[in-house]
Amino acid sequence: MPAKSILVAEDDEAFRLQVGKFLRQQGYAVVCVEDGYQAVDFSLRETPDLLILDVHMPAGDGFSVHERLQRHPDLAVTPVIYMTHDPSHEIEVDASQDGAFALLHKPFELDELLKVVHGAIGLAVEAA
């Protein structure tokens, strides 16, 4: 069975590389991009099994990226995990209304990310 694919869209290069490396070590096929444009472009071409999107990044924040991708039948039910430094309640409400699987507040432990990723991938497998 091929590895589940994950797109990580994060504008902080060091953090993006850390998350990507960690998830690859867990056996996932990971592609990391730095902005919303690249996230949409890659997702439309490759249809990842999971999207991990930074809420605030250039060329399309995580919410707008998810909104654009939900219009495509192959991506409409792809689980999304949002990441943010923003502690505001509005972000939590927006993520919930957007249908996100989870919202992680940075900084977070990589083990916490892995637990959420496993849950989201399991959800994706059941929906398939």
pLDDT in tens, 9-41: 999 999 999 999 999 999 999 999 999 999 999
pLDDT value of residue 33: 98
E strands, 1-128, in order: 5-9, 29-33, 50-54, 80-84, 102-105
The pLDDT > 90 percentage for the chain reads 85
120/47 Cα distance (integer angstroms):
15
pLDDT 10s digits, 45-91: 999 999 999 999 989 899 999 999 999 999 999 999 999 999 988 99
Return mean pLDDT, the chain. 93
Burial class (CB in 10 A: 0-12, 13-18, 19+), 15: middle
- CA 57 from chain center: how many Å? 13
pTM greater than 0.75? yes
- State how far the Cα of 104 lies from the Cα of 75, in Å rounded to an integer: 21
User: What does the block give as tokens for 86?
Assistant: 């923003």
Return the closest-CA partner of residue 7 out of 44, 45, 53.
53
Cβ atoms of residues 11 and 57 within 8 Å: yes
Provide the pLDDT for residue 127. 54
